[in-house]
Structure 1
Amino acid sequence: MTALYFYIKPELPSVAILKDVRLQTPMKIYSQDGQLISQYGVKRRIPLELKDIPEGLKQAILATEDSRFYEHPGVDPIGVMRAFVNLVLTGEKGQGASTITMQLARNFFLTRDKAWMRKIKEAFISWHIEQLLSKDEILELYLNKIELGHRSFGVGAAAQVYFGKDIRDLSLAQLATIAGLFQAPSVLNPISNPSRSRERRRVVLARMLDEGYINRAEFEQAANEDIQAKKHGAEIELDAPYLADMIYSEMVARYGKEEAETGGYQVYATVPSNLQRLAQQATIRNLHDYDERHGYRGPQQQLWQHDTQDQEQGQNPAWTEAQMLEFLATQPSFKPLQPAIVTATEEQQIRVFNQQGQYLDISWDGLAWARPFVSDTSQGDEPKTAADIVKPGALVWIRFNQETAIWQLSQFPDASGAFVALDPITGAVRAIVGGYSFYQSQFNRATQAKRQVGSNIKPFVYSAALDNGFTLASIMNDAPINQWDRKSGVVWRPKNSPEVYDGPIRMRVALGKSKNVVSVRLLRGVGIDNVIQHMAKFGFNPNDLPRDESLSLGSASLTPMEVVTGFSVFANGGFLVTPHVIERIDDEFGETLWQAAPVVAPPAILPSAPVQDASVTAAEQTEQLEPPPQPNYAPAVISRQNAFLTREMMSTAISGGGNWSKKTYWQGTGWRANNLMSRDDLAGKTGTTNDSKDTWFSGMGGNLVATAWVGFDDMSRSLGRTSRNQYLINLNPQKFNWMGNAMVGGEDGARVAQPAWIRFMREALEGVPENYPPVPEGIVTVRIDRTSGKLTQRTDHTSRFEYFIKGTEPTQYVDDEEFIDPFEQDTPVQESEDIF
């Protein structure tokens, strides 16, 4: 034997690798609060320490695979003798001689070929392993390494795959079933071959009874238990595929594809599960609202024609339940949409058959929205009966409306949307949605779609103006512009939308009302090059910014992520943070390998140095007062004063200003947020492009800054307009023309994108304290005349306090000849929206 050992020793592999072996374990991605989002990797494995594996499973494995495991040195002489006797008597090679250590040796280093030389090598390798590892280490590695069918590797993964449970929650019968897999997982597993699995389970339990691990009553109960095994995927708790895909791509870039998918990494996102769900629900509901007010495009297809005479003659009969189930099983679902087949129509109700084999009744409240879609700008007449909408045999989409708590007829929205929310202090992504359904389109519009931003660009233009001598009280001329372009030979006439011009107007009001011509005049006053240089400070690529006056109206194309990053500068006091989606990376045992250390916006008032105690020595003070690690502060790209003033202007885009009864009241384009959210710290900006091809709303409040975008993937297509739908108005009277699907007229940022922002922020900021920034040093307030922007001594409705950077406040008082009292004027209050 010694001579044989030295003869084959050069061919034996080193077992030292087992000391530091890394089992191939899939990458798991979790939300910030630990909810599983996704799992990547072909092999399913859940590495466990021996102490975490139930005693019953260890006993079952030892009883059936190697009852003398803790007694032999890796090779069991009794087992070898038993195998030899079997060979002599039957002439067949058996498995009886393989110990757990030998199986481990074969799994790591050898093949399953039943050759004598392989068995000899297996024995010597096993002896080496026993010299290197303890018995418990060998058993732990064995239980985590072995393949157990359906791509599960190790007992932890097998428990999840076959029973959808943590291994510690399994019954004795389920543990015995897993132990029975070790002999031949492909033919003994309870999914592929339930009868043989039950037979093997009985054998395992009998061996446990023989070894004294269980009693007769436990044997009988476990042997007869109906375990109901079925294949389970990873228990996804938060379905956020756009987020998961972003993190997966970053992990592949960091570690390479193979290592990322097999290294057992546990990646924690910066996104809390509750905020991600809110963003997804808000985006999906908003797209359905837009889609439904534009009309129903009809069923997906007609599976049979409903003709009573034909069916009485046996022609084109209605499908049976079996036919419908078979067909629906081939159809995709896109949450919250699911396919169904219309089986009957009544006067104002339909019955449908769904993928689960259920009949559902959809009442008129779930149908009446479905007037015909004619075009993006036109809708047909409101339906009177269910037969005006669909007929039996129609394949349709249905969804459960959470807000009305009813099933309703639906359709896959034509328009697309995106949503991003950030923590403006750290740049941590708090929610991200790249479209209606990742499973329908993996294109992430939040990070990949560069779309024209419309008036979402204006705060950056106004910020540049503040750095170039303008103030919130600067008077601008809100009057039409006619400019001859020598190159094109046409006149450029930028227009307000609606085409209402207020004449002299303060800068604060101009941004709140989104006055297009004022934005053009500010760009001219500052200079295109200066504005582009200023906008580059917010992280925008200068190459994406057109060098013409259309820049002031939002002709630049940016992604929602770029836009929300720029707005975060106004929210955090002037500092450019870097968006990131990974908070930390742990190994498979929960040890942190990497922790995000983002640059952060410093607080408005930096903490002072700790006070020293005079009673201790200088040496003790040095030891006690060793400074804590300093945060890595983000670069200041604009002054705190500039950020504060720009945010002030954006706050009035939501809250407006003035006194209604005195005719000084005006509404900003984002007034719906003020109506639906009772907070004073909101600030934001709408955005709409030519022909309403792109709509935006970006804004901040509490501890979040967020951007919503809606448009068609086909960039030539307009979001159009809608006519009055009396049913939708009656269904949502309290929301009519505020948000939801009842709005009428041309689509724009306030009507299309802002409702998603409101739905998200209203819930996300519930219970979050208001967070209006403190007035920075260097800012002063003076009372000004609302019309002229000059100083005034009046304290009535014609005046207000305004903020200025010290040294820029007005020095002249309004005189009697200039003074205008709006109460004495016949000027209607106008709501404006923005289109370039």
Structure 2
Amino acid sequence: MILLKRTLQFFIICTLIGLITLVSLYYYVKPDIPSVQVLKDVQLQTPMQVFTKDGLLINQFGEKRRIPVTIDEIPQPLIDAFLATEDNRFYDHIGIDPIGIVRSAIVLISTGEKKQGASTITMQLARNFFLTREKAYIRKIKEIFIALHIENVLTKDEILELYLNKIELGNRAFGIGAAAQVYYGKELKDLTLAQMAMIAGLPKAPSALNPIRNPTRAKARRNVVLGRLLTENYITQDVYDDATSQPITAYFHGAEIDLYAPYISEMVRAEMVSRYGIDKAYNSGFKIFTSVESKVQKAAQTALINNLHSYDMRHGFRGPTAILWDPEKQSALSEKKILAKLNEAKEIGTLKAAAVINVDEKNATVLLKNAEQINLNWDNLKWARKYITRYRQGFAPTTATEILTPGMQIWVRKNSNNEYELSQLPEASSAIVSLDPQDGRIKAIVGGYSFEQSQYNRAIQAKRQVGSNIKPFIYSAALENGYTLASILNDAPINQWDKSQGVAWRPKNSPAVYNGPIRIRRALAQSKNVISVRLLRGVGLQRTADHLLKFGFKNSDINRSESLALGSASITPIELARGMSAFANGGHLIEPYFISEIQDAYGNSLFKANPSVVCDDTSAQSLTPDNTTGLFPQQNTDTPQLKCAPQVISKQNAFLIAQAMHSAVWGGGNWSHKTGWSGTGWRAQALGRRDLSGKTGTTNDSVDTWFSGFNRNVMTSVWVGFDNPGNPLGRTSYNNNLDSGQISGAESGAKTAQPAWVEFMKVALEGKPEAPIEPPEGLVSIRIDLETGLLSHKNDYTSRFEYFDKGTAPTKYVMSQPTDIFEEDTKTEEELF
């Protein structure tokens, strides 16, 4: 009786001590127990994804690959595989498994070693979210209390869903959704049972059991998982036998990029880091939908690459990138050694490294780094005359042996005929920007040939002299100060003595062709340099500069000298496109934007662009242009409201300039009566659309070349030049091996930049109805005499209808033509001619 009493007292004391210890431990670890709200609102570290406007993935940023899935999206066999392997009593216990704990304790007592074990899925979840993997008693105690707390807060399905999305599975894959994509390039629903078992076996040791790193151990672990499924009666023996016989099919799959567009995605990355900080931007699962359209963006990238290759190839072949062996001194390398050399080459853009292994009269056989042998026929070789300088090329080759010899390492790329052609890495650079002039949406943007080669985004960072692309703005200032499209100026050389320099300034037309008396419409269409200078003088330098600032250009970029009339101002392509948009949209200054929407990891919209748009409602909120805050203001959509882009020039002024730029494409006069003439942008006629206006731009020595053109809905600017300012693009002679449609002569906006514009706009405008710029109210259309710009009674090739702002049309007819028809500056006749 005494023994029984003492035994009972002992158990009571032990129980009290245990309870006190348990309570003490609870209060000790309580600060580390997460709140209910933390568990309910737990955020998975999910990479930031960047999409096109129409939903194609163009890039993702973040150290961890994760594709969150809901419990309903997880196939039951995959759930069974995890439960059978990690915690078969998951749906029965309270967060801890007493049987497992006892088993683990026995192992500890018998061996003296702290081996991993007894952790339920809930305990693993607690460790993964809130603790470390350190094997310490206090960590295990914390793990138990947190697991019990989790079970009290979340349902079993919620716990399992969090666990399967959080678990580390190797190769930077976190969660089963990412693992399916990384190892098999599939969605969960498309996995086989063997593949599911492979993923379910990874949590034990994601690195050591990785099927990519160690396929033998991974296969053994996979079969253990399948064995657990069989033991727990999730699968039959036949299913087990079939699954264990399956080979290892895992290999690394990168992110499933639908359209690689690195320049726009880098713009998004920088903007998101600026808004949210790098950690939140990279790990919060943001989905950013850009403003670019996939079809149009791809067309811009293709046009830029093709155009740079065209420029580079017409200047000649610069030779091989390396000599692998000299056939006159040594025998050819083995294929194995050739492939080893080729694998050292970093392929850029569309270029592929190749080794020449055989050459005959009109063909060459080359080996690619994937061991594929291809034939380069004569049509894909004959362009390659020798490069001498940017101004000189060698004679056109007559045989392939003049171009290539075995042992050369070269570049090849596929052309528009899907055939491989001899190629080389372009030396010149380029940028394309395409906007919607009605609201500033960036439809496409490309900052260079290759982001891997250079991350410098020339579209938004490169300030380059704009050449004759400045002239529409100069002419706009002239129209605002009394000139009309019918005003006559003298297209003749200018000689002005500069006393301070002791030299004469002689701006010349390019080419040096002078027409004498010429109307302003034709002068702009044919890009007459001397007329631009005369207009600047007529309006005044300061007044002209002030007018240019209305188009959003920075004051520091607009130089105050007469060279401004010839395009000495340095402006980025996107700034130029923004300014030009005013001629397409009726005189409004829009703000370019490239982010349409930001969503969180669950698809909730956090931000939607609310750009200023072209509108006529003067009572709507109007934004004042700000040239100090950058091109990309953050829009706030908490209280969306109509925002009208500010009117910076009149609708009439914008329309008249667009009309003159239309003549730059379509020309004027009458060819049958030998009075026809072409504008500098005549190559745009290839698109067969009458709604296009455009302007070429070329600086001195063809250092920078431009073409900007638009209709009412699309405004696109293209720049081509060298990254090192001051390097001329040169000129090319005619290549007798090529057809008559080739480009030759001095490089210029029309020859160097416009072909990319034409190729791009062909896609951008495909299937779109013509969108001409309609004449606004306040204009009159009157027939004028083409020679004098005065009114005409004739209805023949000597006259045409011209638009005038009300009150500016001529009042005299050509029959009463005065003796002095020139509207000219104050220079003397000797200075004019």
Instruction: Report the TM-score, using the length of structure 1 for normalisation.
Output: 0.91
Indicate the residue corresponding to 2:675 in structure 1: 664
Task: Tell me the alpha carbon deviations over residues 626-681 of structure 1, each in whole angstroms, 9 at most, x when there is no partner.
Answer: xx97521111111111111110010000001121112221110001111x111110
Of the candidates 392, 414, 422, which is equivalent to residue 435 of structure 2?
Answer: 422
For residues 192-215 of structure 1, the C-alpha deviation after alignment (integer angstroms, 9 at most, x for no partner) is 111111111111112222223222
Percent identity over paired residues: 55
What is the correspondence of 1:167-178 to structure 2 with a 5 Å cutoff? 167-178=188-199
Q: Is the contact made by 2:215 and 2:248 (CA closer than 8 Å) also made in structure 1?
A: no
User: Does residue 698 in structure 1 map to residue 708 in structure 2?
Assistant: yes
CA distance in 2, matches of 1:142, 1:405: 48
- In the alignment, what sits opposite 1:707? 717
Per-residue deviation, 1:119:
2.0
Q: Deviations over 1:763-789 (max 9, x none)?
A: 210110111122211011111111111
Preserved contact between residue 702 and residue 765 of structure 1 (Cα < 8 Å) = no
Deviation digits for residues 176-235 of structure 1, max 9, x if unmatched?
Answer: 110010111111121111111111111111222222322222222222222410111111
- Asked if 1:648 corresponds to 2:659, the answer is yes
Counterpart position of 2:825: none
* CA distance in structure 1 between the aligned counterparts of 2:137 and 2:560, rounded to whole angstroms: 80
Residue in 2 aligned with 1:618?
none
In 2, the alpha carbon distance for the partners of 1:702 and 1:632 equals 19
Structure 1 partner of 2:768 = 768
Q: What is the CA distance between 1:110 and its match in structure 2?
A: 2.4
SS in 2 for 1:398: strand
Structure 1 spans left out of the alignment, 5+ residues: 311-315, 608-627, 737-741, 821-836
2:158 maps to which residue?
137
Structure 1 counterpart of 2:206: 185
The structural deviation recorded for 1:818 is 7.0
* CA–CA distance in structure 2, aligned partners of residues 630 and 73 of structure 1: 53
CA apart distance, 1:88? 4.7
Q: Does 1:537 align with 2:556?
A: no
- 2:392 alignment partner in structure 1: 378
Q: Which residue of 2 aligns with 1:680?
A: 690
Name the structure 2 match of 1:123.
Answer: 144
1:47-102 deviation digits (Å, cap 9, x = unpaired):
22222222221111111111111111111112222323444555544433110111
Residues in 1 aligned to 2:510 and 2:386: alpha-carbon distance in whole angstroms: 29
Q: Measure the CA separation in 1 of the matches of 2:309 and 2:532.
A: 33
Q: Deviations over 1:689-735 (max 9, x none)?
A: 00001100001025210001111112222111111101122xxx4xx
Could you tell me which residue of structure 2 aligns to residue 614 of structure 1? none
Which region of structure 1 is more displaced relative to structure 2, 543-552 or 195-204?
195-204
Are the aligned partners of 1:586 and 1:592 in contact in 2 as well (CA < 8 Å)? yes
Counterpart in 1 of 2:127? Answer: 106
CA distance in 2, matches of 1:413, 1:93: 62
Shift of 1:18: 1.9
Q: Are residue 393 (structure 1) and residue 393 (structure 2) matched?
A: no
The answer for the alignment partner of 1:154 in structure 2 is 175
Asked if 1 retains the 8 angstrom alpha-carbon contact of 2:783 and 2:802, the reply is yes
| Aligned position for 1:22 | 43
Question: Which of 289, 308, 317 is the aligned partner of 1:287?
Answer: 308
CA distance in 1 between counterparts of 2:792 and 2:422 reads: 60
Separation of aligned partners in 1, 2:377 and 2:341 = 25
- Which range moved further: 658-667 or 576-585? 658-667
1:781 corresponds to: 781
Q: Which residue of 2 aligns with 1:33?
A: 54
Q: Deviations over 1:254-275 (max 9, x none)?
A: 1111211111111111001110
Contact (CA 8 Å) 2:349, 2:449: kept in 1 or not? no
Deviation at 1:241, TM superposition (A): 0.8
Where does residue 211 of structure 1 map in the other structure?
232
The 5-angstrom pairing of residues 287-436 of structure 1 reads 287-307=308-328, 310=329, 316-401=330-415, 403-436=416-449
- 2:732 is equivalent to residue 722 of structure 1: yes
Tell me which residue corresponds to 1:755.
Answer: 755
Report the CA distance between 1:14 and its aligned residue.
Answer: 2.5
1:240 aligns with 2:286: no
Hey, what's the Cα distance between the residues in 2 that align with 1:219 and 1:633?
67
The answer to whether the Cα contact below 8 Å between 1:787 and 1:819 also exists between their aligned partners in 2 is no
Matched residue, 2:505: 492
Paired amino acid for 1:353: L
- The SS at the match of 2:644 is coil
Residue in 2 aligned with 1:2?
Answer: 19
Structure 1 Cα separation of the partners of residues 218 and 795 of structure 2: 88
Select 1:638's aligned residue among 630, 635, 649. Answer: 649
Q: Match of 1:389, as an amino acid?
A: I
2:801 is aligned to 801
1:197 and 2:218 are equivalent in the alignment: yes
- The DSSP-based 3-state class of the residue aligned with 1:399 is strand
Task: Determine the C-alpha separation between the residues in 2 that align with 1:177 and 1:304.
Answer: 47
CA separation of 1:357 and 1:283: change in aligned 2, threshold 3 A: same
| Alpha-carbon distance between aligned partners in 2 of 1:97 and 1:816, rounded to the nearest angstrom | 108
Matches of residues 518-533 of structure 1 in structure 2 within 5 Å? 518-533=531-546
Instruction: Provide the C-alpha distance between the structure 2 equivalents of 1:240 and 1:475, rounded to a whole number of angstroms.
Output: 48
Q: Output the CA distance in 2 between the equivalents of 1:86 and 1:817.
A: 114
CA distance in 1, matches of 2:324, 2:774: 64
- TM-score computed with the length of structure 2 as normaliser: 0.92
Distance of aligned partners of 1:630 and 1:29 in 2 relative to their CA distance in 1, 3 Å threshold: closer
Letter in 1 for 2:534: R
Which of 73, 83, 88 is the equivalent residue of 2:104? 83
Query: d(CA) in 2 for partners of 1:374 and 1:506?
Result: 42
- Alignment length (residue pairs): 781
Q: Aligned match of 2:475 in 436, 448, 462?
A: 462
What do residues 553-597 of structure 1 show as CA deviations (whole Å, max 9, x unaligned)? 100111111111111111111111111111111111211111111
Structure 2 CA distance for partners of 1:678 and 1:605, relative to 1, 3 Å: farther
- CA apart distance, 1:43: 1.1
Counterpart Cα distance in 2 of 1:630 and 1:196: 61
Q: Secondary structure at the match of 2:696?
A: strand
Q: Secondary structure at the match of 1:600?
A: coil
RMSD in angstroms over aligned alpha carbons? 1.8
3-state SS of paired residue (1:728): coil
Tell me how far apart the structure 2 counterparts of residues 819 and 358 of structure 1 sit (CA, whole Å).
76
What amino acid is the match of 1:795?
N
Q: Residue 496 of structure 2 is aligned with which of 469, 483, 487?
A: 483
Cα 1:252–1:629 change in 2 (3 A) is closer
Of the three residues 510, 514, 519, the one matched with 1:506 is 519
Contact 1:702–1:769, Cα closer than 8 Å, also in 2: no
What stretches of structure 2 of length at least 5 have no aligned partner? Answer: 1-17, 621-638, 821-833
